[in-house]
Amino acid sequence: MGRRIGVRLLSSVPALFGVLVFTFLLMRVLPGDPAVFFAAGANAGQAEIDMVREQMGLDKPLHEQLVRYLWDITRGNLGNSMTTGQPVRTDLIERLPASLELTFSALLLALTLALPLGVLAALRPGTIVDHFVRFLCTLGVCVPTFVSGLLLIYVFYYLLNWAPDPTGRIDIFAANAPEITGFLLIDFALVRDWSAWRAAAGQLILPASTMALFVLAPLARMTRASMLAVLGSDFVRTAKSLGLSDLRIIVVYALRNALLPVLTISGIVFSTMLGANVLVEKVFSWPGVASYALDALLASDYAPVQGFVLLMATIFVMVNLLIDILYGVADPRATVA
Amino acid sequence: MSGTLRHVGWVLRGNPMTAAAAVGASLLLFIAFFAPWLAPYDPIASNVPIALQPPSAAHWAGTDQLGRDVFSRILYGTRVDLAIAFSAVSLSFVIGAVVGSFCGYVGGTLDRVVGRLVDVLMAFPLFVLAMALVAALGNSIENIIIATAFINLPFYIRFARAEVNVRRNLGWVEAARASGDSDISVVLRFLLPNILPAMAVQISLNLGWAILNAAGLSFIGLGITPPTAEWGIMVAEGARFITSGHWWLVAFPGLALMLAVLCFNLLGDGLRDILDPRMRT
């Protein structure tokens, strides 16, 4: 097992290296002078631009720049943000927990909805349940996250007044967040501050639902399709003939086997979610990495954008790695490619 | 030709959803072409005294913060959004189909190099990659199209490569080679036309996705600048008024987006069912 993981870790190195080089090319070679970007925007003095160019080594040939860039990255130096005046790395570390908390809650929510819905639809194909699931899924992919988010705000904040003010992560009047993991739900649970926990969960529920709705469709459809295939297989027939209870057959035998394809597409789902994060964070003024990068992008501050793109790609490569490993755990027949 | 048409009619009668989607898609194209004649009001002329009015007989979808007619703006927005989606998808289709076909046909080093490049592109979350591209290329509509085309490219390359790869040694391809066609001619004149129907499905499914992508990019403030009537930017402008209860500024452009994506998705699903019944879910 350890060897397998090691092999797979090594095989993701080329992907990461490709991501680094591509980001480098994207920011350095395309039109526009990075020295101007990294100095202080378009209205920096010529002397300052020249100084930055020399500092960044932009007067050197391209391959030397690449080596220098890779060296900077390995030391964790992502440059400075001119909007916040801090190193990009500090900013990203500060804001990453907010984004991850949102993404993981949404994924959890989507899975807890999608799996039962998919299973139900597969158990009763062609019935009302099946059509309802299909309808919900079709709708889920067609409504853009920024529209569904805003409509949820309208219904649950403006009309029903159930949800709190949809700006940011936590009510400013609530207790100060303890700095343990950065994940508010975990932190408040650890210090047993349940009223603050409820406030944090209240802020989280709408953005998380928005994202969950968007990725519900692929998960539920895949669950339904693979569950249908598994339910028709020999081992399910055998389990039935042995007189096992329906619940045991479905949950223990069928679902476990049906989950493999679902696991495979969760990589694509995660990629969609990292993208949807940008839109959802914008709609809900969520203080995560995506809204940070977006603010920087609109202010022509490129170091944070570059850092953000690298961070997202790295997370995505890591998630794919994790999925591959989980796949091996769930299905010992699968080999590491 | 009339035989083909009759066959299409027969197929659509058996697939009412696909037929409805086809009608919807044609309607969208019609609106996009004839927006100036269909729209009851000027999409960018402001009329502040009637700002933020809810839907009424005079203004079917209400008015926005400058008193512009939301319905007219949605009709004009169809133009921009469809134009972006169509140009982006055709760009990635043409480049992706040609590059992918040659990779599948030639194989070897070309195939490996392109395959690696595609892998690297796929290692990025796609919307984030589009954002980064717009950031690097500059903030304009052309670059939104290029970015949207670029993130679609890997799918077309992979698809065309796989489709050509299974056909490269078939009898009729051999025959074309044997009768003296060059490799380029075999790929462009025989293999590409042969994989076109399968790619049509991909195109239709991609159009919906491209619309979502372009609207998403303009929602976050990239590409299209405010006075332009475009669905994403209309939702972005309406977002400021949602907490004060002006739902129509978001709901109607949102509905337009949803219907457009729905049409192209259903059309793609229907085409796939017609072309490949095994994939039916």
- Residue A309 to residue B138, Cβ atoms within 8 A: no
Cα distance between residue A78 and residue A306, in whole Å: 8
Judged by a CB distance cut-off of 8 A, whether residue B261 touches chain A is yes
Q: How far is B269 from chain A (nearest CA, A)?
A: 11
What per-residue confidence (pLDDT) applies to B278? 53
- Residues A36-47 as b or e (16 or more Cβ within 10 Å = b): bbbbeeeebeee
Cα distance between residue A273 and residue A155, in whole Å: 23
Q: Tell me the three state secondary structure of residue B186.
A: helix
Which amino acid, A187?
D
- Residue B281 to residue A225, Cβ atoms within 8 A: yes
**Longest alpha-carbon distance in chain B:** 75
- Residue A147 to residue B125, Cβ atoms within 8 A: no
Task: Report angle CA A208, B218, A202 to the nearest 5 degrees.
Answer: 20
Which amino acid, B105?
Y
Cα torsion through B100, B103, B109, B112, rounded to 10: 50
Q: How far is A328 from chain B (nearest CA, A)?
A: 21
**Are the beta carbons of B252 and B60 closer than 8 angstroms?**
no
A79 vs B155, residue with greater confidence: B155
Judged by a CB distance cut-off of 8 A, whether residue B25 touches chain A is no
**Are the beta carbons of B66 and B48 closer than 8 angstroms?**
yes
**Are the beta carbons of B264 and B71 closer than 8 angstroms?**
no
Judged by a CB distance cut-off of 8 A, whether residue B278 touches chain A is no
Give me the phi and psi of B249, to 5 degrees please.
Answer: -65, -30
Judged by a CB distance cut-off of 8 A, whether residue A221 touches chain B is yes
Q: How far is B124 from chain A (nearest CA, A)?
A: 5
Cα distance between residue A289 and residue A91, in whole Å: 8
- Residue B127 to residue A278, Cβ atoms within 8 A: yes
Q: Which of B236, B254, B262 sits opposite A138 (nearest CB)?
A: B262
- Measured between beta carbons, the chain B residues lying within 8 angstroms of A313 are 123-125, 128
Cα distance between residue A80 and residue A87, in whole Å: 4
Using the Cα atoms of residue B7, residue B11, residue B13 and residue B16 in order, give the sign of their dihedral. Answer: negative
What per-residue confidence (pLDDT) applies to B87? 92
Which residues, in sequence order, are CB contacts of A215 under 8 Å at separation 6+?
A: A106, A107, A110, A140, A269, A272, A273, A276
- The residue of chain B nearest to residue A165, with distances taken between CA atoms, is B243
Q: Tell me the three state secondary structure of residue B69.
A: strand
- The residue of chain A nearest to residue B127, with distances taken between CA atoms, is A275
* Residue spans of chain A under pLDDT 70: 1, 28-44, 55-58, 163, 168-180, 334-337
Contacts of the segment A200-205: beta carbons below 8 A, 24+ positions apart: A200/A169, A200/A170, A200/A174, A202/A163, A202/A164, A202/A171, A203/A164, A203/A166, A203/A168, A203/A169, A203/A170, A203/A171, A204/A101, A204/A102, A204/A105, A204/A169, A205/A163
What per-residue confidence (pLDDT) applies to B280? 47
| B28: confidence class by pLDDT, cuts 50, 70, 90 | confident
Q: Which residues pair with A87 in a beta bridge?
A: A80
Q: Tell me the three state secondary structure of residue B225.
A: coil
Query: What value of ipTM does the predicted structure carry?
Result: 0.81
Judged by a CB distance cut-off of 8 A, whether residue B11 touches chain A is no
CB-defined contacts A:B, below 8 A: 151
Q: Which of B129, B212, B242 sits opposite A150 (nearest CB)?
A: B242
Q: How far is B146 from chain A (nearest CA, A)?
A: 13
Q: What is the CA radius of gyration of chain A?
A: 24
Structure confidence by residue, pLDDT tens digits, B157-203? 888 888 887 787 788 877 888 887 777 877 787 788 878 777 877 78
CB < 8 Å from B in window 251-270 of A: 270
Judged by a CB distance cut-off of 8 A, whether residue B212 touches chain A is yes
Structure confidence by residue, pLDDT tens digits, B108-153? 888 888 888 888 888 788 888 888 888 778 778 888 899 889 888 8
Which residues, in sequence order, are CB contacts of A229 under 8 Å at separation 6+?
A: A258
- Measured between beta carbons, the chain B residues lying within 8 angstroms of A308 are 128
Structure confidence by residue, pLDDT tens digits, A44-96? 677 777 777 776 666 777 777 778 878 888 777 777 777 777 888 888 888 88
- Residue A30 to residue B215, Cβ atoms within 8 A: no
Which of A142, A228, A268 to probe by mutation at the B interface, max B CB count within 10 Å? A142
Q: Tell me the three state secondary structure of residue B63.
A: strand
The DSSP call for residue A87 is B
- Residues A150-170 as b or e (16 or more Cβ within 10 Å = b): bbbbbebbbeeeebbebeebb
Quote the tokens at residue B204: 């239709």
Quote the tokens at residue A71: 């060296």
**Are the beta carbons of A87 and A78 closer than 8 angstroms?**
yes
- The residue of chain B nearest to residue A227, with distances taken between CA atoms, is B281
- Residue A142 to residue B116, Cβ atoms within 8 A: no
Quote the tokens at residue A245: 């209870």
- Residue B215 to residue A144, Cβ atoms within 8 A: yes
Q: How far is B32 from chain A (nearest CA, A)?
A: 20
Judged by a CB distance cut-off of 8 A, whether residue A152 touches chain B is no
- Residue A316 to residue B123, Cβ atoms within 8 A: yes
What per-residue confidence (pLDDT) applies to A31? 53
Average pLDDT in chain B: 80
Cα distance between residue B176 and residue B61, in whole Å: 58
Which amino acid, B44?
I
Q: Which of A146, A147, A309 sits opposite B132 (nearest CB)?
A: A309
Cα distance between residue A104 and residue B189, in whole Å: 49
- Residue A294 to residue B220, Cβ atoms within 8 A: yes
Q: Which of B135, B243, B257 sits opposite A305 (nearest CB)?
A: B135
What per-residue confidence (pLDDT) applies to A174? 52
- The residue of chain B nearest to residue A284, with distances taken between CA atoms, is B239
Q: How far is B235 from chain A (nearest CA, A)?
A: 7
- Measured between beta carbons, the chain A residues lying within 8 angstroms of B262 are 138, 142
CA A135 to chain centre: 25
Judged by a CB distance cut-off of 8 A, whether residue B200 touches chain A is no
Judged by a CB distance cut-off of 8 A, whether residue A164 touches chain B is no
